[in-house]
Amino acid sequence: MKACEYLVTGGAGFIGSHLVEELVAQGKSVRVLDNLVSGKMENMAAFLSKIDFVKGDIRDLETCRKACEGVQFVSHQGALGSVPRSVEDPLTTNNVNDGGTLNMLLAARDAKVKKFVFASSSSIYGDTPTLPKIESMLPTPMSPYALSKLTGETYCRLFFDLYGLETIALRYFNVFGPRQDEGSQYAAVIPKFSNAVLKGNAPVIFGDGEQTRDFTFVKDVVAVNLAGFASTKEAAGRFYNVACHKRINLKQLLANIQASAKKLGLKVPLKEVDFQPKRAGDVKDSLADINLVSHYLGFVPKWTVEQGLDITVAAYAKELGL
């Protein structure tokens, strides 16, 4: 296997493919490890010829070891996402997210990787009423998915403390953007809302729609991953909130998506919202404190939710041929 400077697990997925695209644009040599369970080859179509793609599963330690050969920087985006899916099938979520992350850390340690950036999640905070969420708060995960991300963070800290592997854990807050799967039953709220609006269907809201989220455009997430690669040792062994530091409720989010669709000249008749019962594991409110990531990684969000939605809704409309 030829040497590559960067390895991105889950690089055929939503966030991973955006990160790979940016690394390739910067002229970096990149390897992608993905089992294509949720990732898609079409997400990498524009740059596939410029990367080293390995189809494999992070649950296999030997696969992880081979993928880390000759690598200096690892971005571990590979995971089985979705709170609802983890509630339905906690064992698979545990095996992929906890076992897979441990495999990647072992492989990275033994390959003497310089930096290991781990994709964590704001879900680790649970439904504590205190806002904004700050990294020093006691985590109270409400789902197997959230617990798996907290476990992954803890492993990252341990591998820095015990073995000197410089790890960075990024707690993503509701990332969105083009390529986020709108067809899955486990799709996030923005793909779901966008799909419903563009097709003229009734949007589904679980709960009363007053719940709030701190949405983060995927280009900002890419930027903070790159900052993690370039960080000093002082930043290692820590976990950081990654967010826009602005929250909106789901009703307003839906209105913003409709506004983005109208900017495209599309007729988007508003269908009555289909309110469904709150789902198990869903949190009420979310807002991030981003002082720590700003201090250690120099991260300042550049994209507003509205700007991100304009790009995202336009991408979905193009996929639908509208």
Instruction: Pull the structure tokens for residue 238.
Output: 């820590």
Quickly count: other Cβ atoms within 10 Å of residue 210's Cβ.
Answer: 12
Active site amino acids: 145
CA distance between the termini of the chain: 42
**Residue 131 burial class via C-beta count within 10 angstroms: exposed 0-12, middle 13-18, buried 19 and up:** middle
Q: Which helix (H) or strand (E) holds 253?
A: helix 250-263
Residue with tokens 């990252």: 156
Q: Is the dihedral of CA 108, 58, 92, 76 positive or negative?
A: positive
**What order do you get walking across the sheet with 238-242 strand by strand?**
52-55, 30-34, 6-9, 73-76, 115-121, 167-172, 238-242
Q: Give the β-pairing of 212-213 and 248-249.
A: antiparallel
Picking from 51, 65, 58, 10, the residue whose alpha carbon sits closest to that of residue 34 is 10
Render 143-169 in DSSP notation, one character per residue. Answer: SHHHHHHHHHHHHHHHHHHHH---EEE
**Residue 72 burial class via C-beta count within 10 angstroms: exposed 0-12, middle 13-18, buried 19 and up:** middle
